[in-house]
Amino acid sequence: MGKQAGRQRLQKKISPWRFAITYIVLMGLFLLAIGLEPVKQVLDVNGLYTQLIVKLSGLAIKPFGIAREIRGSLIILNHGPALDVRFGCNGLEAFLIYSVAILAYPASRLDKLVGIAAGFVVLQILNVLRIAALALSAIYLKEYFEYIHIYAAQGIMIAVALILFLAWLHLTPYTHKAQE
């Protein structure tokens, strides 16, 4: 079967409603799994994830000599405020948006696994760079920091997650069998 015929066959099988419902259910389950207190007592995924991102971000800004201390979710700057990296700032939210979209889409397990792994790496590299840029803006652009943080930096991560998903859709082969 040619690529065009395979593409048409799969497009008939993709239901926007099924994708949307699957996406909403999976996102709800993942958010519950990382947010429920009993689960956090056993394994605090968000806390561990945040600590890793803060340490990596601290390494990224170390050459600039602007971080005085890295403690828990805090990056304490020499000549500015402390950055408190939380859910939404640690990149986990963007990763969930991206990976849940892939999981909700009818594709092979291998395509999903490769897409999620590659997206994780890209999103986290960009997130560490974003936090480093926010640290620099907290010192050198203090009057604009809130605008940069809330309107630009957070929006960029969500936009990147969407762009990565669209790129994954474009790169995912159309010749495999959709879930029937």
Average pLDDT, the chain: 85
DSSP string for 6-32? HHHHHHHH--HHHHHHHHHHHHHHHHH
Ranges of residues in the chain with a pLDDT under 70 are 1-13, 174-180
Q: What is the pLDDT of residue 98?
A: 97
- Which H/E stretch holds residue 113? helix 109-140
Identify whether the C-beta of residue 95 lies closer than 8 Å to the C-beta of residue 46.
no
0.85 surpassed by pTM: no
Q: What is the pLDDT of residue 180?
A: 43
Tell me how far CA of residue 33 lies from CA of 16, 27, 29, 37, 117, in angstroms: 25, 10, 6, 9, 20
Q: What is the pLDDT of residue 11?
A: 52
Q: Which residues of 85-98 are buried (b: 16+ CB within 10 A; e: fewer)?
A: bebebbbbbbbbbb
Q: What is the spatial distance between Cα 9 and Cα 34, in angstroms, rounded to a whole number? A: 37
